[in-house]
Structure 1
Amino acid sequence: MLTTIGFDADDTLWHNESFFRLTQDRFTALMADHCPPEHLHERLLEAERRNLGAYGFGVKGFTLSMIETAIEVSGGRVPASVIGEILASGREMLEHPVHLLPHARATVTALAADYRVVLITKGDLLDQERKLAQSGLGDLFDGVEIVSDKTPEIYRAAFARHGTGADQGLMVGNSLKSDVLPMLTAGGWGVHVPHGLTWALEQADPPTGHRRFHEMADLSGLPDLVCHLAQGHKT
């Protein structure tokens, strides 16, 4: 049986990574006098990886990592005006309008008519709540989970609360590492919908050959896939 459909949010239902890339480009320009772009990007990624345990995922952690990187690569000589620009960039990201990806509304609406649909996203609580409210999709979901990370245990708990268990659930998202692989480990289906931009820390190899793994170019084909799986043609 397939009873519950889980959706990732960022870069699955609405644009997200593109705003991070634009802000990183702005950060690179601000730090041009202190560090070459390639080295700066490496140091920023190191800071982000190091800080995930303390700051979590999202804009606030990214902003703090940029500030930390600016201080490190400049030997503590980065001007206060540059720190101010970095903070302003982070604030702009938190205020940026939500732009839905193609087929997002139609797909969630179609599946909500016959299945329990759940939003499972990680990141900053206030920012994710803001984006969900602005998206206009909030009323379509039977449940919303904003989590600090995505693990098999998180998926088992979420699909038990909002559905009939992970083994009767499907998770769709743009990240193999967060949306697909842990859901497969939890016993459910995982559907990968690649996005043109993927954060380096979210990259992973596809589980080619796994009987519950599927990949599609966009969300438009998801209702047909769910119907196919629900009818028992492939388990």
Structure 2
Amino acid sequence: MHTKLTTIAFDADDTLWHNERFFRITQERFADLLSDFTEKTHLEQRLLAAERRNLGHYGFGVKGFVLSMIETAIEVTEEKVPAAVIAELMQAGREMLAHPIDLLPHARRAVECCAETHRVLLITKGDLLDQERKLAQSGLGELFDAVEIVSDKTVEAYGQIFARHGEGSSRGMMIGNSMRSDVVPMVEAGGWGVFVPHGLEWELEKAPAPKASARFHQLESLQRLPELVQTIMD
């Protein structure tokens, strides 16, 4: 089996630019709006349950998050939630969909360095229009050989993407902040999975690290990525 790396893929949200912090800000706003009906910890638990329940219906992203907040608000208030609260949650969603892009440290340099020697992909999940907007505003779009916006990141998805844009997943690398989505399925697909923790992690993206695999790596930041790639190539 070939062992050399030919194709490198990056996750987008909270790997190349900030994203989760906007969800956290909105969730705090949600708790304030519902404070007369329930306490914060209970509300967070109900919201997480709704998000988990709704993933198969709404997918990942802001729109599904807003719908889950509205559903939770209806549940915890026993259908007494004021229309003004629903309106404010919808406005919060619109603001999230318009937030400016703030690149993470070393993001541009990491992509540029990889693009000098390898095929470089962006593989992200979520709402199509929102992800396209963020990529356009990031200024990184011209660096990627291909962009894939998928409904979920699975072993099968990685196999298909790296076969389509590279030489198969065994010669590919996926870099991201989600152990569940970016790292574990890529390692299971036979490729390299590189975990770059962001600091804010959504509960539904947590998973045990595949530490038994020699193709699992963890970096403190993207600054060390070119060094890791060179080590693999050597």
TM-score, structure 2 as length reference: 0.98
Work out which of the residue numbers 197, 202, 205 in structure 1 matches 2:200.
197
Deviation of 1:132 (Å): 0.2
1:152 and 2:152 matched: no
* Greater Cα shift, 77-86 or 205-214: 205-214
Work out which of the residue numbers 221, 224, 233 in structure 2 matches 1:230.
233
Deviations 1:32-88 (A, max 9, x none): 011110110000000000000000000000000000000010000000000000000
Deviation of 1:204 (Å): 1.0
For these two proteins, the number of residue pairs brought into alignment is 231
Cross-structure match for 2:85? 82
> How far, CA to CA, are the matches of 1:208 and 1:188 in structure 2?
14
Equivalent AA in structure 1 for residue 145 of structure 2: D
Work out which of the residue numbers 6, 9, 13 in structure 1 matches 2:12.
9
> How far, CA to CA, are the matches of 1:165 and 1:203 in structure 2?
26
Cross-structure match for 2:28? 25
> How far, CA to CA, are the matches of 2:211 and 2:148 in structure 1?
28
Work out which of the residue numbers 46, 50, 53 in structure 1 matches 2:53.
50
Cross-structure match for 2:110? 107
> How far, CA to CA, are the matches of 1:207 and 1:157 in structure 2?
21
Equivalent AA in structure 2 for residue 223 of structure 1: P
> How far, CA to CA, are the matches of 2:68 and 2:109 in structure 1?
37
Cross-structure match for 1:69? 72
Deviation of 1:209 (Å): 2.7
Equivalent AA in structure 2 for residue 178 of structure 1: S
The gaps in structure 1 that reach 5 residues or longer are none
Identity of aligned residues (%): 65
Cross-structure match for 2:172? 169
Give SS of 2:72's match.
helix
Runs of 4+ aligned residues of structure 1 deviating over 4 Å after TM superposition are none
> How far, CA to CA, are the matches of 2:38 and 2:87 in structure 1?
18
The gaps in structure 2 that reach 5 residues or longer are none
Work out which of the residue numbers 47, 59, 62 in structure 2 matches 1:59.
62
Q: How do residues 202-221 of structure 1 correspond to structure 2 at under 5 angstroms?
A: 202-221=205-224
What RMSD over aligned residues (CA atoms) do the two structures have, in Å? 0.5
TM-score, structure 1 as length reference: 0.98
> How far, CA to CA, are the matches of 1:73 and 1:230 in structure 2?
54
